[in-house]
Amino acid sequence: MTVKLTPTESETIFHNALCNGLGYVEGYGIELDFNKQDYARAVGEEWIIKKSNNDEYVSYDDSNTSRIGGYSITHNRDSAEKFLTKKDAQQTIDKNNLELHLMSEFNVEKYAKGSTT
């Protein structure tokens, strides 16, 4: 016997198995959790801070926290600091007064790995 499912049917069955199977798995003391940053990266919902007038981006280096809270400028888009929400990125600009310290205006834009826009 062969069972053929459409992609929608497959996704529905997979979704139901995950949702309904969670209680069964928890009965063995296993807790399923997810990392919000990994999820944002997987669905392509990360945000970066870009200089308004050129292709420079804000990066973060926790070994350099003495200068502007560890924030600096990079030319490598993939090295830019990633944020889960646009609001988080904007709050970082405001909280660290980055426009004053890095002497530029910044825009917050959606990040897609390998993309140039």
- End-to-end CA distance of the chain: give it in Å, rounded: 49
Beta-bridged to residue 3, according to DSSP, are none
Q: Which residue has the higher pLDDT, 105 or 19?
A: 105
Taking the whole predicted model, whether its pTM rises above 0.85 is answered as no
Beta strand 57-60 with 106-111 is: unpaired
* Residue whose token pair is 């807790």: 31
d(CA 69, CA 107): 19
Per-residue HEC secondary structure of 24-47 comes to: HHHCCCCCCCCCHHHHHHHHCCEE
pLDDT band at 56 (very low <50, low <70, confident <90, very high): very high
